Amino acid sequence: MIIGYVFYSFILLATLFVSYFYIHYAMKTTTIGLYANVIVASVMQLSAYALAVFGWFLYTFLQHTSHFFIGLQIAIWVFVICEVCLISIVLYQYKKEEIIRLASNVWSFSKRNYFKLVKRMKSVRNIKKKEEA
């Protein structure tokens, strides 16, 4: 039974590294933002946990029902801890890149639409002047 617990715990902790490496790979190779990658990695991690809990159920149901509930509690707590660790690590590493990407997108948008923005600002000023008069 100890080998089962060790293997089960190994699978649960391995999903943290798989999710982290997915985010790291996706941030380097794609243009998808940080938050979308975190959501995808969280769903990947949740599905891996569901499969691990199902395998744990099949392994322990015939032996002891109490072991199944202990394993379920372990999975829930390890999932919460791993999810908090994953999000905090990823935000610490990629928050600066995400802010720089947002600033460059805003800058390029404002460069493309500068004249439209100026025209709208002038029209708003004219409307305010007419209302004041």
DSSP string, 8-19: HHHHHHHHHHHH
Instruction: Count other Cβ atoms within 10 Å, centred on residue 15.
Output: 22
Whole-structure pTM value: 0.68
Kindly state the tokens that stand for 131.
Answer: 């209302």
Q: Is pLDDT above 90 for 2? A: no
- Distance CA(57)–CA(64), nearest Å, equals 10
pLDDT in tens, 20-31: 999 989 988 888
Crossing angle for the helix pair 65-112 and 2-29, to the nearest 10 degrees: 10
Domain containing residue 19: 2-132
Number of domains in the chain: 1
pLDDT in tens, 29-42: 888 878 888 899 99
**CA-based nearest residue to 107, from 99, 84, 22, 10:** 99
Q: Which residues contact 63 (CB under 8 A, 6 or more apart)?
A: 1
How much is the pLDDT for 122? 74
